[in-house]
Amino acid sequence: MKKMSVAEAAKKFGVSKEAIHNRIRRGSLKSVVENGIKMVLIDTNVQMQQRKRVTNTQVDDRYYKLLEEQNAKLQEKVEKLENETRSLRDQKEAMLIEEREKIERIYKEKDEQLKNILTTLSAKLMLTPPQEEIIEEQEVTHEETLDAEIEPFLEAEEEIPSKVVSLKKYLKKQKFSQKKIDKIMKKFKKIAKKDDRVVSLGSKYYIDTLKFDYSDIIN
User: Cα separations (Å) of 101 from 91, 96, 108?
Assistant: 15, 9, 10
Model pLDDT, residue 140: 47
pLDDT along the chain (219 residues), means of 10: 85 86 86 86 64 55 82 90 89 88 83 72 50 42 56 52 78 87 88 84 83 85
> What per-residue confidence (pLDDT) applies to 158?
47
In this predicted structure, what is the pLDDT of residue 59? 60
Asked if 184 and 171 touch (Cβ cutoff 8 Å), the reply is: yes
Instruction: Look at residue 153 in the predicted model and tell me its pLDDT.
Output: 54
The residue among 169, 161, 174 whose CA lies nearest residue 218 is: 174
Which among 16, 69, 12, 7 is positioned nearest to 38, based on CA atoms? 7
Q: Characterize the bridge pairing of strands 204-208 and 37-42.
A: unpaired
DSSP state, residue 206: E
> What is the gyration radius of the CA atoms in the chain, in angstroms?
51
Q: Is the pTM of this model over 0.75?
A: no
